[in-house]
């Protein structure tokens, strides 16, 4: 299990290959990558991601341990960036490995749902007009009810 | 003395990312009332508690949670990770 | 949309990076990779995958077009190998890109459920004792009912 | 003349991957009955139709489907892709 909270960019392909190579006995590997999207009306200059250093690693580790146990994962990876990101840059990724596909998919979705609403990150959209904190969506909070 | 941390727009409204606070507050809600009484910038940040979350010693908590033994309190809006 | 049915191995990381780099406007990229697993009792020497050349590309294209339309995908990738594979080798992968995570995850699961039961591939497990055709699982057929 | 293809254990039981078949069969089921009547290896392959799938001109079909205009029939066990 690897959890990285970092300012640096990461290479999705290299991370996916390293993760898959390190797993024994898995039949299914799922990755999710979140990418900075431009605004619907365009004009996004950057996404600034703030986090709570003392709490972030701890909160993600708790979520990751729950996922590992609940779905019997072979392995799991979480990378989450903070700082200033340009449109098109990868914000974060998770990877899960399990014997069968249902467990790998479900665990990845569970991790994403919890990272969205329970890991201490806050996003701010920077445009020429200034900065706007991204509001949490009711749908993201509601997504936790599945689990 | 208690370390109080602020993140995102809570930090912006209060104007500092963290500060040491001397308080007799028994619960998080008491601490909030205490801060609001001090200066307008706190009143502005804490105007709507339903829009805020709190962590005690880096664990999510409720606003009626007791502060006994707590060293670090953090206030922030709902998280938007992922 | 790229659909490849091939005997050659593929590089998960290189494929994931090429896929992600070619997508505009996506906020979410999901990949699934299926890997040859050893048998529970061990001793798997190889997995032989037979397919129906005339039908395979056609069947996968139909599934992929349905997924693209139904979830409004930005892009989609399917790679599926045939021939003789060793334990630990990747059999296939799918990748989906969408504006939001729910669509990317659901489309990838849909693709996997349909590839399992509706794309003309047959797996044979080779051990020192001989070869055993893998039987379709009722659960895989039942998985289609979700969609 | 119709091209008939076999895959996986159906191919192994019948002993060839494909063959041209002269038949008057009106439906897939008629074709199966026609083949079973010819040789034991067909009877072995088609013993349990519930364990088989059929494709007509590379599209999945049912066993009561008509063969009029069909050029390629394929028999195989349930697919195990992915």
Chain A partners within 8 Å of B5 (Cβ): 52
Encoded tokens for C53: 């050349």
The alpha carbon of residue B11 is apart from the nearest alpha carbon of chain A, in Å, by: 11
CA A103 to chain centre: 17
CA gap D61, D35 in Å, rounded: 18
B2-76 is classed CATH 3.10.20.30: yes
The structure's pTM equals: 0.96
Are the beta carbons of A116 and B77 separated by less than 8 Å? no
Percentage, residues of chain C above pLDDT 70: 100
Note down pLDDT in tens along chain D; length 82 residues.
899 999 999 999 999 999 999 999 999 999 999 999 999 999 999 999 999 999 999 999 999 999 999 999 999 999 999 9
Tens of pLDDT, residues B19-49: 999 999 999 999 999 999 999 999 999 999 9
CA gap C136, A87 in Å, rounded: 44
Handedness of CA C108, C114, C120, C126 (dihedral sign): positive
Chain D partners within 8 Å of C135 (Cβ): 77-78, 80
User: Which residue from C minimizes the CA distance to D12?
Assistant: C133
The alpha carbon of residue C136 is apart from the nearest alpha carbon of chain D, in Å, by: 6
Q: Please state whether at least 3 CB pairs lie below 8 Å between chains D and B.
A: no
ipTM of the complex: 0.94
Out of C14, C27, C90, the one facing A34 most closely (by C-beta) is C27
User: Which residue from C minimizes the CA distance to A21?
Assistant: C88
Q: Of A100, A93, A109, A111, give the one whose Cα is nearest residue A16.
A: A93
Tens of pLDDT, residues C76-132: 999 999 999 999 999 999 999 999 999 999 999 999 999 999 999 999 999 999 999
What's the domain count of chain C? 1
For position C106, which CATH number holds? 3.90.1170.40
Q: Please state whether at least 3 CB pairs lie below 8 Å between chains B and A.
A: yes
Helical axes C101-118 vs A101-118, angle rounded to 10°: 180
- Boundaries of domain holding A51: 2-144
Q: Of A39, A41, A32, give the one whose Cα is nearest residue A67.
A: A32
Chain A partners within 8 Å of B78 (Cβ): 117, 135-136, 141
CA C110 to chain centre: 11
The alpha carbon of residue B77 is apart from the nearest alpha carbon of chain A, in Å, by: 8
Chain A partners within 8 Å of C101 (Cβ): 32, 34, 109, 112
Chain A partners within 8 Å of C104 (Cβ): 32
């Amino acid at each position: 299990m690897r959890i990285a909270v970092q300012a640096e960019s990461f290479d999705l392909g290299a991370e996916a290959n390293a993760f898959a190579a390190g797993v024994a006995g898995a039949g299914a590997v799922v990755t999710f990558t979140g990418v900075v999207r431009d605004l619907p009306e365009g004009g996004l200059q950057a996404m600034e991601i703030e986090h709570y250093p003392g709490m972030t690693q701890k909160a993600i580790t708790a979520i990751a341990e729950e996922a590992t146990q609940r779905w019997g994962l072979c392995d799991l990876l979480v990378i989450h960036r903070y700082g200033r990101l340009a449109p098109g840059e990868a914000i974060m990724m998770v990877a899960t490995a399990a014997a069968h596909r249902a467990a790998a998919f479900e665990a990845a979705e569970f991790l994403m749902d919890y990272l969205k609403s329970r890991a201490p990150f806050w996003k701010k959209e920077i445009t020429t007009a200034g900065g706007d904190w991204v509001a949490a969506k009711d749908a993201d909070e509601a997504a936790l009810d599945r689990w | 003395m208690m370390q109080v941390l602020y993140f995102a727009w809570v930090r912006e409204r209060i104007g500092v990312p963290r500060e040491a606070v001397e308080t007799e507050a028994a619960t998080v809600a008491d601490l909030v009332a205490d801060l609001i009484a001090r200066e307008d910038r706190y009143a502005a940040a804490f105007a709507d508690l339903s829009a805020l979350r709190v962590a005690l010693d880096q664990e999510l908590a409720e606003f009626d949670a007791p502060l006994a033994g707590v060293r670090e309190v953090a206030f922030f809006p709902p998280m938007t990770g992922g």
